[in-house]
Amino acid sequence: MRTEIATLGEFGLINRLTKDIKLTQPTSIKGVGDDAAIIDSGDKRTLVATDLLLEGIHFDLTYFPLKHLGYKAAVINFSDIYAMNGTPQQITVSLGISKRFSVEDIEEFYDGVKLACQVYNVDIVGGDTASSLTGFTISITCIGIASDDAIVYRNGAKDTDLICVSGDLGAAYMGLQLLEREKAVFSGQENFTPDFAGKEYILERQLKPEARKDIVEELGKLAIVPTAMIDISDGLSSDLLHICSQSNVGCRVFEERLPIDYQTAMMAESFNLSVATVALNGGDDYEMLFTVPLSVYEQIKVVPGIHIIGHINDASLESKFVTRDGHEMELEAQGWKVTDSLD
């Protein structure tokens, strides 16, 4: 019997492929199911995260500068390590390169990777290259460290915990929509000038995101250890449901509390999109989503750049999105589908 991948979706496929995997090495502390794997390295824990980026699926070189792409490819891996409350230290960079790329093109990509490593104090320690028949393929593995008592998993959220998010939501997605719109308008025209005036913020969020190292450091200064944490790569809804499912809890997220930038809201309106839908399902934000005990409310509410958007409840109450008029809607995970592309 043939099962189409589209019937499972991204998260269903991952669950099916990994459900029977059992860790047999005593040094393997945590395997599949979090932002990074965890390996016992004696006094410290080693964190390992990998991301795969495919041309035409995750990026379009029509509008994505190679240096920006290199920077983003590295930073999103750093973000996975920070989401475990760890510190990224090394990366390996593996590339599949088609013959349409020159040496200078790959150097430009690497300039972006090197810049990210310089900004976040991470070393490039290895990798691989191979020829590709299907465009540009990028696989980066990041290695980080953390003390055992500092690591934050996805499975620690508890009833009454506060749900917090850093920064704002949906900007990267609207930046992507803007780039795709201008690409469609361009459609091979000569001397075409894209209309990006007043939209610089959402473009930067898509093309050059930053890992929220500052948020993790601020929580450390306040001696606040989240009960669960994840970086928002698949969208608020999907990533919050990861926390809920692994913690065996439900949640309530309130529309009126979603942090949304003015440029994001204006761009969503121009595309006739619901701002709430963009914030919930956009993805690529790379903000930190985490839960903390209700007891630290007074501390967390005054931290700049952190927003309380809801709370954790018992699993029997399920996971709901509460609209401004009090209507409750089921939160749904998105993830990729086998037919997803940038076209």
Superfamily of domain 5-146: PurM-like, N-terminal domain (3.30.1330.10)
Q: Kindly tell me if the per-residue pLDDT of 339 is higher than 60.
A: no
What angle in degrees, to the nearest 10, is found between the helix axes of 213-221 and 66-82?
30
Nearby residues of 256 by Cβ (< 8 Å), 6 or more positions away: 324
Distances (CA, A) of 3 to 9, 10, 104, 256: 11, 14, 43, 40
Q: Kindly tell me if the per-residue pLDDT of 21 is higher than 90.
A: no
Residue 340: per-residue pLDDT: 46
pLDDT tier, 334 (very low <50, low <70, confident <90, very high otherwise): low
Query: What SS3 state is found at 167?
Result: coil
> ∠208-217-52 over CA atoms, to 5°?
40
Residue whose C-alpha is closest to residue 47's, from 189, 142, 154, 157: 142
Nearby residues of 173 by Cβ (< 8 Å), 6 or more positions away: 206, 278, 281, 282, 283, 284, 285
Tokens of 261: 């930038």
Q: Kindly tell me if the per-residue pLDDT of 338 is higher than 60.
A: no
| Domain regions of the chain by residue span | 5-146, 162-330
> ∠102-108-113 over CA atoms, to 5°?
130
Q: What is the spatial distance between Cα 22 and Cα 13, in angstroms, rounded to a whole number?
A: 17
Mean pLDDT of 315-330: 94
190-228 pLDDT, tens digit per residue, is: 666 677 888 999 999 999 999 999 999 999 999 999 999
Query: What SS3 state is found at 146?
Result: strand
Structure letter (DSSP) for residue 197: T
272-313 pLDDT, tens digit per residue, is: 999 999 999 988 999 999 999 999 999 999 999 999 999 999
Please state whether the predicted TM-score (pTM) of the whole model is above 0.85: yes
Q: Give CA torsion, residues 275, 279, 281, 287, to 10 deg.
A: 160
Superfamily of domain 162-330: PurM-like C-terminal domain (3.90.650.10)
Alpha helix stretches (DSSP H) within the chain: 9-18, 66-82, 103-120, 171-186, 200-207, 213-221, 236-247, 262-270, 275-281, 297-300
Q: What is the spatial distance between Cα 286 and Cα 157, in angstroms, rounded to a whole number?
A: 20
Mean pLDDT of 177-194: 78
Q: What is the spatial distance between Cα 286 and Cα 75, in angstroms, rounded to a whole number?
A: 9
Structure letter (DSSP) for residue 161: P
Nearby residues of 223 by Cβ (< 8 Å), 6 or more positions away: none
Same fold, 5-146 and 162-330: no
